[in-house]
Structure 1
Amino acid sequence: MILVAVGRVDRPGAGHRCGVRVGITAVRRLRFDDGTPVTAASGIAPLGDGWLVAQDDATHAAWQRPDGVARLRLLPPVEGLDRFSEAAGTKHLKPDLEVACPVEADGLPGVLLLGSGSAARRTRGVLVTLDGDRPDVRAADLAPLYGAVAERLGVPVAQLNLEGASRAGDVLRWYQRGNLAAGVANAGVEVPLEALVAVLLGRAGAGTVPLGAAHVLELGEVAGVGLAVTDAIALPDGRELLAAAAEDTPNPVDDGPVVATALVLADGGRVLDVTPLPEVDGQVVKVEGLALRGTDGAAVHLVAVVDADDPELPSPQVDLTVTPG
């Protein structure tokens, strides 16, 4: 295990530091059963006896189970395409599913997936439920909800970049990935899960989902690049762990160099600690998905997925052990 102690991040107003420790216990490269890579992993949530991994550059997810990794279609092809990339000139077509969160619907376990919201194609939600061993997939346009979230957070629609979420009981804490260069803050808003799931089930309109409390997070910067939320997970004690990346990009669409990544301990919107994430194979990795594997005393065991921002590389899946302090 690689252990990393608290690092220094330029964060104004930093208060008590809790001494969070992070260790990597395993690294895997995700591939489908046919050998092709799982790319641009952007979210992960438990589904049945395995994990559902969202890909932000595709219309299908990866369902990782003990006996293999299968494709699960989430959305129909876009202009005949199921994968998208900047090199192919098709990046603007991708649904950009960035959030994967465990939910229940009509008594069945499931996963809610949500787009980033920065363009019309990215304001869709997908609900996957599992009846026995059979997945059922439903999708809905959530544009009115995205508009309401942008207004609540005070973010221009073109700068909306909802990349992470955690589940706290019956509430989804949905996070805007900030951008220091564009003057956009990291911020979160609470959404009642039951109301949101009802939209995906076709029982309500997207404009009927009420929004709860909102808050801003100051995560600081590294080498002049602001740290920004890429995902979140709620802890059993009510606090949260948030993955964050300092990616040098001027907008929510273009990729840029990632100069640092961190794990943030927060409580009710209050930042308690910012700790560097360990490198993988000597590289800074952008963790875009977090899920809880379990706890052992004070230790929290997470599974994370990494977006390598390369359509040819398999996404790393990393097991983390975190001691929040």
Structure 2
Amino acid sequence: MAYVPRDGRRMRRRAGGHRSPVRVTVDGVAALRFDDGTPVRAASGIAPLGDGWLVAQDDATHAAWRRPGSVTRVRVLPPVEGHDTFAAAAGTKHLKPDLEVACPAEVDGAPAVLLLGSGSTARRVRGVLVRLEDGRPVSVAADLGALYERVGAVLGVPADQRNLEGGSRLGDTVRWYQRGNLAAGVPSASVEVPLADLVDAVLGRTGPRAVPVTRPCRHELGEVDGVGLAVTDAVALPDGRELLSAAAEDTPNAVDDGPVVATALALVDGPDVLAVARIPEVGGRVHKVEGLALREVRGAEVHLLAVVDDDDPDTPSAELALRAVLD
């Protein structure tokens, strides 16, 4: 089964099964900059915090707190060998914490944001909790390496292809997503982890090895121009289904960047892929959506905030207002 989008790129999906249509519209685009004018870099996750949104940067030790009329830095990790930002051109990319997941959470009943590293190297296995104390964000972090090893084992993913880039909260559970790479024979997949256990592991109340990892499943999203679509993030809908963001990025492994030929939203119900719809290009550019957050649902319309990683530290990350109509 195949269809040809307006730009001529050919997206292929496996035949068989009912596919519910999804239509995606970009309602707005904004460049994310801190109050001092410097760009928000490599935005990779977004979740609500207080009266705004916390945006994770995968190549920095601080996040961006985007509030009405203001974007401020929030330190989430200490400097790494004296560095707070990381880039291939500076020879420091291998040091970056690579925080990719931003998920709503609670700490002792108070709202918080859970940030998780990708696990693609031994330096990228930390978890962070950000919460507000007297209206100011505070962070606590922990090494979760033993948990990442268990997730990889449950999914059957070798350590050099592990790349946990997305997460959605479904009630008391986090569904944690492996970003696949079809060129390397690694499918997109996910597991379920109890949110409370994840929070306790970051706070040091329990060991990472004690966190249950269950219900692995694969997600076959198809391909564009021969490049497989792979999960970059996810949000849960009120009816229990999820919307996944996906990118067709031509890269041989879980560390190196490559050209992105298309991005898409996928509507899924557990392992069942109900529909895949391309995210329209804006200004002739493919925006690599790496973070999704749910704003509201109005009947069949789902309103989302998405953040974009342009793989360029000098380019401000874009924030997209997306609208998905689920027919």
Tell me if TM exceeds 0.5.
yes
Equivalent residue in structure 1 for 2:87, among 73, 80, 85? 85
Calculate the TM-score normalised by the size of structure 1.
0.97
Residue 106, structure 1, aligned to residue 77, structure 2: no
RMSD between superposed Cα atoms in Å:
1.2
Query: What's the offset of the Cα at 1:134?
Result: 2.0
Give the residue type in structure 2 aligned to 1:312. Answer: D
| Cα distance, 1:207–1:97 mapped onto 2, change above 3 Å | same
1:39–1:310 Cα contact (<8 Å) kept:
yes
The question of 1:275 aligning with 2:296 is answered: no
Is this contact kept in 2: 1:9–1:274, CA < 8 A? no
Counterpart in 1 of 2:234? 232
Q: Which residue does the alignment assign to 2:37?
A: 35
Q: Which residue of 1 aligns with 2:177?
A: 175
1:208 aligns with 2:204: no
Runs in 1 of length 4+ with deviation above 3 angstroms?
A: none
Matching residue of 2:72: 70
The residue aligned with 2:200 is 198
Distance between the aligned counterparts of 2:273 and 2:206, measured in 1?
35
Structure 1 unmatched ranges of 5 or more: none
Match of 2:14 in 1: 12
* Deviation by residue 1:68-124 (Cα, 9 ceiling, x = unmatched): 000000000001000000111110000000000000110110000000001111000
Instruction: Provide the C-alpha distance between the structure 1 equivalents of 2:17 and 2:115, rounded to a whole number of angstroms.
Output: 34
Q: Deviations over 1:115-141 (max 9, x none)?
A: 000111100000011234122200000
SS in 1 for 2:196: helix
Secondary structure of the corresponding residue to residue 12 of structure 2:
coil
Work out the CA distance in 2 between the residues paired with 1:131 and 1:20.
40
| Residue from 222, 225, 228 that aligns with 1:220 | 222
Deviation for aligned residue 1:25:
1.1
- Equivalent residue of 2:247, what SS? strand
Q: Which amino acid in 2 is paired with 1:38?
A: V
Is residue 2:156 matched to residue 1:154?
Answer: yes
**Equivalent position amino acid for 2:171 in 1:** G
Aligned twin of 1:96 = 98
Deviation at 1:14, TM superposition (A): 4.4
One-letter amino acid of the counterpart of residue 231, structure 2: V
Match of 2:186 in 1: 184
What is the CA–CA distance in structure 2 between the aligned matches of 1:94 and 1:17, rounded to whole Å? Answer: 39
- In the other structure, the counterpart of 2:289 is 287
| Identical aligned residues as a percent | 67
Moved more, 14-23 or 189-198: 14-23
